[in-house]
Structure 1
């Protein structure tokens, strides 16, 4: 199992729109083959700082999503709203 954590700094005037796009696509992402869960959280001290946390069956499932039509629809929409480059980590549970 892989937990993918992505830190996203969103421009202040785009934060609500970003959350809306995530909410509209959350079920589709969670339903993607190999995805067990995806959620969005944000910092309680900085409204710009968001994290997506997703649980994947394996690295192949994550890579399949990253090369999917769904990802290709979402990422280009939200990427211009970033205040900084996204940071991502994949972790494995022991």
Structure 2
């Protein structure tokens, strides 16, 4: 399984809007072929800092999602709310061959 972490930083006035957007699309993301789960985490101190954590069957499934019309339209809305460039990391559990 591929673990995907994306660190996101938002304009203060966009925090609630982003949380609402994520709530609206979470189930659709989880129902996307190859997605096992997706969660939204908020920094304990910097309330405009978030991280999404998703688990995918493999890199191919994640890339298919990233190329989908659904992702493209959602990402377009999300990018307008950023106050910094997002940082993404894809990782596998150490010592486990997939």
TM-score by length of 2: 0.94
Choose 1 or 2 for highest CA Rg: 2
1:1-94 matched pairs, under 5 angstroms? 1-93=1-93, 94=96
The one-character-per-residue Cα deviations of 1:5-60 (angstroms, maximum 9, x if unpaired) are: 00000110000100000000000000000000001011010111000000000000
What's the C-alpha RMSD, in Å, of the aligned pairs? 0.5
Question: What count of residue pairs does the alignment treat as equivalent?
Answer: 94
Distance (Å, rounded) in 1 between the aligned partners of 2:36 and 2:83: 29
Distance (Å, rounded) in 2 between the aligned partners of 1:60 and 1:23: 25
Q: Stretches of 4+ moved more than 6 A in 1?
A: none
TM-score by length of 1: 0.98
Unaligned 5+ segments in structure 2 are: none
